């Protein structure tokens, strides 16, 4: 018996992974949620038929979403995560001693519940006393916040389903308002091979609101094309001008101080999207 999960990353291309067992296959109030054990990647969280995270490669996404903005801000204390119900970004944020409070706003409580049960190494930070979890709409939460956060991270699904508002210029304007005067924000912004137009649009939208706008990349093998982008918007601090002494020793598997800077060096066809 041989069961394979196939994600169509485009209409005409996809990845396929052998499944050992299915733990969860459920329609939540917001999306279709699957949690399966795969042979190659360990346990895998799938939302609306898209791979969200796997035990084997999750460290890349979570380290790169968290540490780049947190080392860009000189003294991050109040951090907001929009989405991120698997807990991986929380785990990475908690490595920063300056951070006094992490607020996670996830629209779908089921993602949190099942991640705690089936992805315990990813969802390891939920019980930390510095963490507050709110199960509500991130878009509305942002709209009701003012000068509250040093760093905001948008750890969303693709711009379909519940996350569609999180790729709008109104959302970025709300983020700017919710950030303190020297705040930094970052969002995952898909891949340049299949979603070049999306990256270009988000970059332009963010650039109209934030004085410092930067695109950076990381290799995530279970995400479409293996080359993922992150768009960073900052009111003051430039991630490309971080001082070396800002980097303490920190346990990591992908991120290093050298990778911090190299991740902003874009292949020509990706750089062209920002010009």
Active site (catalytic) residues: 155
Binding string to a second copy for residues 156 to 195, with x set by CB under 8 A, is what?
A: -------------------------------------x--
Cβ(78)–Cβ(96) below 8 Å: no
Cβ(31)–Cβ(48) below 8 Å: yes
37: its two tokens: 């054990």
Residue 157 annotated as binding site: yes
**Cα 53 from Cα 58, distance rounded (Å):** 6
The interface region with a second copy, picked from 82-90, 130-138, 150-158, 213-221 by CB under 8 A, is 213-221
The interface region with a second copy, picked from 4-12, 45-53, 119-127, 172-180 by CB under 8 A, is 4-12
The interface region with a second copy, picked from 66-74, 89-97, 129-137, 222-230 by CB under 8 A, is 222-230
DSSP type of residue 46: E
Least Å distance between CB 149 and a second copy? Answer: 28
252 is a contact residue toward a second copy (CB under 8 A): yes
One of 3, 25, 39, 182 touching a second copy (CB under 8 A): 39
Residue 237 annotated as binding site: no
Rg (CA), the chain: 18
Cβ(69)–Cβ(153) below 8 Å: yes
267 is a contact residue toward a second copy (CB under 8 A): yes
196 is a contact residue toward a second copy (CB under 8 A): no
Q: List the beta bridge partners of residue 22.
A: 36
One of 24, 133, 209, 227 touching a second copy (CB under 8 A): 227
**Cα 111 from Cα 115, distance rounded (Å):** 6
One of 225, 233, 239, 273 touching a second copy (CB under 8 A): 225
Nearer Cβ to a second copy (141/261): 261
94 is a contact residue toward a second copy (CB under 8 A): no
265 is a contact residue toward a second copy (CB under 8 A): yes
240 is a contact residue toward a second copy (CB under 8 A): no
Cβ(36)–Cβ(23) below 8 Å: yes
Q: Which of 74, 100, 65 lies closest to 181, judged by CA?
A: 74
> 213 — phi, psi (to 5°)?
-125, 125
Least Å distance between CB 16 and a second copy? Answer: 5
**Cα 105 from Cα 82, distance rounded (Å):** 5
Site for a second copy in 57-86 (CB under 8 A): 57, 60
**Cα 233 from Cα 238, distance rounded (Å):** 9
Q: Which of 58, 55, 63 lies closest to 23, judged by CA?
A: 55
Residue 67 annotated as binding site: no
Helix (H) or strand (E) holding 189: none
Positions that interact with a second copy (CB under 8 A)? 6, 10-18, 38-41, 57, 60, 193, 217-221, 224-227, 252-256, 258-259, 261-262, 265-269, 271
């Amino acid at each position: 018996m041989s069961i394979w999960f196939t994600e169509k990353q485009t209409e005409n291309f996809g990845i396929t992974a052998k499944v050992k067992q299915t733990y969860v296959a459920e329609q939540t109030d917001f999306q279709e949620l699957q949690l399966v054990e795969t042979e190659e990647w360990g346990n895998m969280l799938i939302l609306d038929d898209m791979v969200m995270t796997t035990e084997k490669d999750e460290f890349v996404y979570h380290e790169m979403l968290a540490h780049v903005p947190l080392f860009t801000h000189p003294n991050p204390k109040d951090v907001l995560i929009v989405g991120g119900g698997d807990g991986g970004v929380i785990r990475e944020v908690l490595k920063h001693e300056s951070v006094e409070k992490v607020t996670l706003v996830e629209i779908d409580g089921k993602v949190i519940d099942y991640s705690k049960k089936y992805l315990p190494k990813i969802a390891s930070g939920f019980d930390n006393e510095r963490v507050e979890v709110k199960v509500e709409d991130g878009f509305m939460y942002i709209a009701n916040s003012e000068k509250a956060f040093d760093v905001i991270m948008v750890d969303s699904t693709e711009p379909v389903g519940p996350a569609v508002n999180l790729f709008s210029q109104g959302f970025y304007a709300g983020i700017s308002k919710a950030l303190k005067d020297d705040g930094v924000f970052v969002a995952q912004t898909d891949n340049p091979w299949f979603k070049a137009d999306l990256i270009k649009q988000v970059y332009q939208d963010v650039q109209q609101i934030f004085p410092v706008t930067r695109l950076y990349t990381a290799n995530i093998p279970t995400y479409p094309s293996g080359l993922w982008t992150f768009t960073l918007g900052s009111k003051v601090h430039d991630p490309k001008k971080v001082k070396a002494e800002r980097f303490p020793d920190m346990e990591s598997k992908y991120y290093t101080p050298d990778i911090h800077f190299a991740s902003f060096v874009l292949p020509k066809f990706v750089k062209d999207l920002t010009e």
